Each structure stands twice: as structure tokens, then as C-alpha cells.
Structure 1
Amino acid sequence: MTPEQLQELWDAGRLVALAGPAASDQQALAAAIGPDGLGPLEERWGPGVVIGSGGSTGGRRWCLQPLAHLQASASATGRWLEGLGLDPASCLHLNSLPLHHVSGLLPWVRAQHWGAGHQRLDPAWMRDPGLLAAAAPLDPGRPALLSLVPTQLQRLLAAGEGVAWLQRLALIWVGGAPLPPALAERARLAGLRLAPCYGATETAAMVCALAPEAFLAGSSGCGAPLGDVELRLGAEQAVEVRCERLSPGWLEAGRLQPLPRTADGWWRSGDAGRLGLTGLELLGRLDGAIHSGGETVFPEVLEQRLAQLAQAAGLPLQALLLLPIDDPDWGQRLVALVRPDSPQQGWEELQLALQAICDSWPPAERPGRWLLCPELAPAELGKWQRNHWRAWVDQLKAVEVVSPASVDVEPV
């Protein structure tokens, strides 16, 4: 479905179900809608979408988002841009993400709501910086906006043509997955106007964003909430959101399951964070946090730290994932899945070097096992399907193969 076709359906008052091309997604969406279709919901909520949530750690959900909520999100983003001195209607909104992803849907909604330009970027262009620069030349007199996930940003920064193209953009929102510190620093050195942001399908996309000037000055995190959003931290440092554009709920076997929220309207996300002077800083997924030796550990934070130190040390590391395994003494311990730059790289040497980096870390944060995983890679849009890789560990039966130099430590 094209954005123009979607707009025609909305103009006719339709509620539209969006899923990716994979048969599994199509089947899951059909099961969620049920045999009676979307007619009853359409009568209640009017035009809008049923769209999949990220599902990076927990189960995938098919959220209802009325068009009015999507337009409210676009309005809030437009006011945020005006605060930066940009006129939303004068901008060209470039769109590199698929329509069935909330961050690929909102560029179209924003452009229509603002009366701005919209241009789709072919996925093949995003994998070839030279092709992108030739296929999507930028008008220096018209501010161009772009939303990227970190994986796309990394690909474009790997080539001079990609860097030069990104440098001509007025603003680059980056979200959907954590922005590795090393990648953020490369973007700063290139002078890219990044705006790291945070949002969810349940919130109709972005709820906070860091201004590019703050990013370039060295600030980290996802910035302050947009004007129509309130943020707070709940139990376990859970990020909680209150706004008028929260999803009414998700579909399950034809029934709308209301989005859980407190009596005064707060929705608890699945993310942990902290609130500082520059806004929200994410710590990781709560359902990915582990309790090890009496300590709460966020594997995603440790992954970023270890990858950054490995890069600084020049280690041939292509991908890294930290996952929990049950341990009778610790409760849970971390296991590290590692993909070298190439299968020919010396695994034992890389393993020992990575472990040496972690030797000074608190005991609960050190991986207890290191597993070579040549096929390790994130899924679509750079998200890790952690349940998939947990199953890979369970099936491997080789988790007993510990690093020759690894040393068991006692829990604190």
C-alpha cells in the first residue's frame, strides 16, 4: 500500500490494518483482527490504523491508533520544530522507513498535516550511500527532515557520499533502538544535526526529542518531552507517559484490549530510564533487565559500553549481544554472543581481549560465558529479537563451553 492509497482510505473514513510483507506478520494481524473485521472499531473510532508495536523483547501487539491521535502527534512535532526556528510547512519530509512501522507512517501524516513535502526513499538507496546521494539530491534552499534507525545511520556514515548527504539535512531524528555512544560521537565529529528521540506505537510515535544543538554540544539522551506530553518515572525507574494520544488498546482475537493505565491517565512503558537536566535518558528494557547476585543489571547498557571499548581497542567485533541464563547461585548470569568481523578472525584471542575489558567491571556485570555466534545480527530496523537469541542459546547445548580464561566469581 502506498501513502496515497492510505490517505484515500482515511478520507473515506476507513480504519486500515498495516502489516509487513512477511507471511507471519500477515497471519498474526489477521488472527488479532478476528473474523468480524474492523467494522465495529471503525464505527467507534473513525479513520486510523491498526499497526504492530515493536515487539523487540515481549510479544508483538497490534495497536489501534485513530487518525486524530496521529495528527495530534504531528501537531506536537510541528510546534517542536517551530521552537528550533524551522517552519514545518516549508520542510521536505524524507521517509526511509516502511509504512507499517509507526516511524515510517508518521512522516506521511506530518507532511499532510503541515502541508509539507514528502518523499519516499527506496530501501535499496539506504544500503548504498552513493546511490542515495544520486537518487535523492537535496535542495539547499529547502530544509529536509529525516527519521533513521541507528543501523541506517551507521551504513551511511561508513561512506563519504553518505556523510556528505547527511550533512545537508536540517534535522535527523534517530530512534527505534539505542544510539551507540561511538556512533553518536562519529555523527558529532561530522557535524550532523542529530535529534535522538523516544516514542512508541502506543504513543503515536515521538514523545521527546533532543535538540540538534544540544546533541552537537555533547548532550546525550532523548531530550525533553514534547509540549503535549508528560513524563515521569515509576517503580523500577519505568518510563511513564501521559498524553491525549495514547492508543485505546490492542487487538486480540477480534477484541480490543484496553491499554493499561492508572486512574489519572499514566501509561507505564516497558523501558527504564532516568530524568536529568537535558531530559530522558534510557537505561534499557525492563523486561530485558536481570537480577544477578542481588544487583539489577541492564544488558543493553553493558552492550553499548563493551562495544564502545572494543572499538576503541581496535578489536574485530561485528556484533555483540548480552543475554541472561539461569544460575543456581546468582539467580541469573550474563552470556555474551559474539560475531567477529569475519569467521577467519581468531576467536580465542578476541574472546580473551573482550574478557580483559570486563575484568574491572562489577561481578554482576561481567559475562560468565562467551559464545561464538557467526550468524548474530539484529532484525529489521536494527532491533534485537532477544527471545530468538535466547532460544538459540537454549538449543546450542554448548553453553558449558566457557572461555579458557574465564574465572567464576562469587555473587555479592
Structure 2
Amino acid sequence: MFADALAGRHIAVLPGGGARHLTAYPLSSWRGGAAAYSTDSPDRGAAETGTASASTPPALVVFTSGSTGRPKGVALSAEALRASAAATEDALSGPGRWFLCLAPDHIAGAQVILRSLRSGTVPFDGRGNFTAERFAAQAEEFFRSGRGEPAYASLVPTQLTRILRDPRAASQAARFDALLVGGASLHPHTAAAARQAGLRVVRTYGMSETGGGCVYDGRAFPQVDIRIADDGRVSLSGPVIADGYVEVGPNSIVPKPDPGFSVDNRGRRTFLTSDTGRFDSAGVLTVTGRVDDVFQSGGTNVSPLAVESVLLDELADDGIDEVLLVPVDDREWGQLGALLVRGPGAEYYRNSAPKLKSRFKRLLGPAEIPRWVLPVEAIPAKGIGKPDRAAARRLAAQMLREGAQSDSAEAGPEPAARTEPTGLPAEDSTDMRTDKRGE
């Protein structure tokens, strides 16, 4: 179906946003003709505003993970998909064989299939319940059937963490010429552990709207430009950018103008992301958070991703694999942070509040210090492994409501006082003056 879509025979619509199965829509279902791009983009510095023709049907419609609400349909042209696949080959070791362990319902998995089509190979199907043991066995089979061509795989950080904890899986992973890791933030501690184990990891940054990763290890593809908008958001432009958003109906696909997309008078497309970022002195991009994840505690803006990066770096050696900071409504401070932690060492923190509190105060500002630390079996995720912050927030509230949490480090501006999360009965509240207690 993907090959026919690239050839312009139909539009391939991936599951999501109401579509339950991979579906081939006829070209006649396209309702183009209006502008797919906005002429009122807030990022006017990235490109001259203009109007792009939406008369040409896209090759692929993929749905976003719904990080900012309802999943959106993203229309990608065959030209954008080919440009992305070609740039990936150039950035790696040329055409090769791909190990598919991500669902093709999302752009990262779909790109594995599209890159395989370009290279004339068939991806190895490693989908299903991902465990390190299963990956190791399937990777051995994958390499037995190879002919010496470059070997690649795309992973999310959670999969990489599991691989690194299993010597046999790590040994097999080290045989790949490149492991593309994206979909969520890859913590430097995890990346360093992968390098030490001999894995050739490539950190990727991108999204459905850019046809998947278009920034590798902080540097954009040669034909892609990155700039930081005035409000701190990352803006991406180039041939890999999608045509825009669409509404997919039972028998139609309709373009939906959006101010996040713009096009200049030469036809160069730009997408203004919801991610914030910065460049270092060498021009390497670091994504610092999302504008829609920031919450306020005592009048101070708190960026969860920035806090998570600091804390995971501090706690990783103690057996913490993932952390996720979510806000909990509070009558006094507005919102306070609850930190979900997962890993072999998570339970330790139920009874280590004084030590943990001291470490947090050394690393973070008062408003950034989590009020609660909640060990969990798994961090809620959506799509191919992106943290589901809405579900995590509900989980944290439920754990607090049920009294399942441990008393943790003091948070909020000094002096700290006993505070009850909004909606929690007094008997379920936590006294922060007692001593119990991501990526």
C-alpha cells in the first residue's frame, strides 16, 4: 500500500483520529483546492507568508500522538517522504536493511517501511510486545538472514533502556550500524550508557509534521533549517515538512488551515513546533521543553522536561530509569509537582525523603522541587512511547487520593507549610514535614 501511495495511485491513511485500520483512500476523496497553509503564521521570520496550493493529493496521512489534545491528521507528500528517506541514508551509512520494532501506525514506524522501499529491501518484522529477551532473539535471526548490508533500527528511549539492562540484547544491539532513538527525550545518562556498551545511537528529533526525525544528534539535515522563534519555540523548514493538517472523514480528506504551517514565495515550507529549544556554542540544538507542558507553582513557571533532565541525571545511578513531572492542583501554590519514578530503585525513595530533599534543593529552585515522589510500575505513554502527561497527571492524583503516596520532599517557596492538593480530603493529605517517602 505504501508503494502505491508513493506512486500516486491512492492516499494511504494510517490508523488514528477515528480511523481504525490502514486504509487506501482513492485520489478522488481529496478535497483540496483551498489553502493548506496559513498566511498568518506567528513565526513570520522563518519564511515569507504565502499560500500553498492544496490541489495535489498527499501520499500519506499520519496522525499525531495527541500530545496537545485530539490527534491531528498530517498530510505528507511523496516528495517530502522521499526527501526524508534520502536524507536519512546520507546521514547514516547509505541504504540498508531495517529492523521494524515500532508500530507503522506512527511516522517512525512508517518511515522504516518507506526507507526499506527506497533501498529495495524488506524490513524485518520485530513488532509485538517488546522485551529485551525477544529483541535479542529476533536480532539474531535478523543478522542470520542478512548479506552484509548496513543494518538499522528505530527505537524509543524506553526500548533502549530495556535493551541496556540485558547483556544479550545489548550485545545484539551493538551489531547495528545505527540505532535511531526518538519519539521522546533521550537522557544523556542513557545515551552515555549506550555508547559505553558499544551501541551506535543517533538521537533524532522530529515529529509527524516533519515526516519523522529531521535533526540527528542536534544537527538538521542539510536541506532543513532550524531557527528559534521570538517566543523560544523551535521552527523547522525544508522539503521534509508536511503539506498541513487534514480532517479525515469516511469518504473524504479535507485540508485544515493552521497557523503553525507557512510557506514562502518560493514554496519552501515551515512548521512552528510547540517545543522550546536553544543552540549551544557549536550550533547543536537542545530541546528544552514544550510550551503547553509548563505549569505555574507559586507564580513561578516550571518546565517539566528541564526538571526531569536534572533529576534523572541525579537519580539514574540509583536505579531510576524514567521520571515524569506532572502538576497537581493546590489551593495555596496553584500547582505543585508530583514526580513519577520507575525503575529497580524506585521503592527506595519511599523512605528517603531527607536525603532526596537535600539533593533536590542543591539542584533546583524552590518551585521546581517535586512535592511528592511516586514510584510506579510504568510511566503512562501514548503512541510509540511518548509520555502521556495527561494520563500521568490523572495517575498521580489518583495515587494521592488513595493515600498510596509516601511523604516526600518539601516544595514551593519558603517557608513551606502543610498543603493539601485541591479536591483531596484532609485525611488523605500529606504532611511534608515527616520523613517518609522519565525521559
Pairwise same-fold verdict (TM > 0.5): yes
Residues 27/192 of structure 1: CA separation in 2 closer, same or farther (3 Å cut): closer
Distance change (3 Å), C-alpha of 1:80 and 1:372: closer
Provide the residue aligned with 2:41 in structure 1.
none
Q: Please identify, of 42-51 and 143-152, the stretch whose mean Cα deviation from structure 2 is larger.
A: 42-51
3-state SS of 1:410 partner: coil
Q: CA deviation at 1:268?
A: 1.2
* Cα drift, residue 395 of structure 1: 5.1
Residue number in structure 2 paired with 1:51: 62
- State the 1:53 CA deviation: 1.0
Could you tell me whether the CA contact under 8 Å between 1:209 and 1:224 is conserved in 2? yes
Distance in structure 1 (CA, Å) of the matches to 2:167 and 2:405: 41
Greater length-normalized contact order (CA 8 Å, ≥ 6 residues apart): 2
Q: Hey, what does 1:290 align to over in structure 2?
A: 295
CA contact (8 A) 1:371 1:399 kept: no
Give, in whole Å, the separation in 2 of the partners of 1:339 and 1:386: 15
Equivalent residue number for residue 257 of structure 1: 256
Aligned with 1:337 (options 312, 336, 340): 340
| Deviation sequence 1:55-90 (CA, Å, 0-9, x none) | 234332111112222112112223333xxxx3x23x
Could you tell me which residue of structure 1 aligns to residue 360 of structure 2? 358
Unaligned runs of 5+ in 1: 211-222
| 1:154 paired residue number | 161
**1:179 correspondence with 2:174:** no
Does the CA contact (< 8 Å) of 2:30 and 2:57 recur in 1?
Answer: no
Residue pairs, 1:264-343, within 5 angstroms: 264=264, 265-276=269-280, 277-312=282-317, 314=318, 317=320, 319-327=322-330, 330-339=333-342, 341=344
Cα distance between partner residues in 1 of 2:263 and 2:284: 25
Unaligned runs of 5+ in 2: 34-53, 416-439
179, 191, 203: which is aligned to 2:198?
191
Cα distance in 1 for partners of 2:377, 2:100 equals: 32
Query: Structure 1 residue 114: deviation in Å?
Result: 3.8
| Corresponding position: 1:163 with 2:167 | no
1:122 aligns with 2:127: yes
Partner of 1:147, secondary structure, is strand
1:100 paired residue number: 105
Tell me, what secondary structure is at the counterpart of 1:308? helix
Pick which of 7-16 and 360-369 moved more: 7-16
Identity of aligned residues (%): 26
Alpha-carbon distance in structure 1 between the residues aligned to 2:60 and 2:396: 36
CA contact (8 A) 1:54 1:60 kept: yes
The residue type equivalent to 1:231 in the other structure is I
The 5 Å alignment of 1:61-76 reads: 61-76=72-87
Greater displacement, 242-251 / 201-210: 242-251
Say whether residues 1:6 and 2:2 are aligned partners: yes
**Correspondences of 1:14-29 after superposition (within 5 Å):** 14-19=10-15, 26=19
Alignment match of 2:148 (pick from 137, 141, 150): 141
Amino acid at match of 2:183: G
Task: Go from structure 1 to structure 2 and tell me whether the alpha carbon gap of 1:93 and 1:409 turns closer, same or farther (over 3 Å shift).
Answer: closer
Question: Residue deviations 1:89-121, cap 9 Å, x none?
Answer: 3x2222221111101111222232344553332
Q: For the residues of structure 1 that align with 2:275 and 2:2, how far apart are their CA atoms?
A: 31
Describe the SS at the equivalent of 1:235.
coil
Distance 1:29 1:167 in 2: 33
How far did 1:269 drift?
Answer: 0.3
Deviation per CA, 1:298-334: give whole Å up to 9, x if none: 212322322332232x25x465321123445544332
Q: 1:347 to 1:247 in 2, by over 3 A?
A: same
Count of matched residue pairs: 380
- Are positions 1:241 and 2:236 aligned together? yes
Distance in 2, matches of 1:227 and 1:281, equals: 18
The one-letter code sitting in structure 2 at the alignment partner of 1:268 is L
Cα pair distance change 1:203/1:28, threshold 3 Å: same
Work out the CA distance in 2 between the residues paired with 1:389 and 1:238.
24
Once the two structures are overlaid, the 10-residue window that deviates more, 241-250 or 324-333, is 324-333
Amino acid at match of 1:281: T
Q: Which residue of structure 2 aligns with residue 214 of structure 1?
A: none
Cα gap change, 1:407/1:291 in structure 2, threshold over 3 Å: closer, same or farther?
closer
Q: CA deviation at 1:199?
A: 0.8
Aligned pairs (5 A) from 1:359-398: 359-360=361-362, 361-371=364-374, 373=376, 376-394=379-397, 398=401
CA deviation vs aligned residue, 1:186-224 (integer Å, no higher than 9, x gap) = 1111121111011110011121102xxxxxxxxxxxx21
SS at structure 1 position matched to 2:276 = strand
Equivalents in 1 of 2:55, 2:393: separation in Å? 40
Which 10-residue stretch deviates more, 116-125 or 233-242?
Answer: 116-125
TM-score (norm 1): 0.80
CA distance in 2, matches of 1:292, 1:207: 34
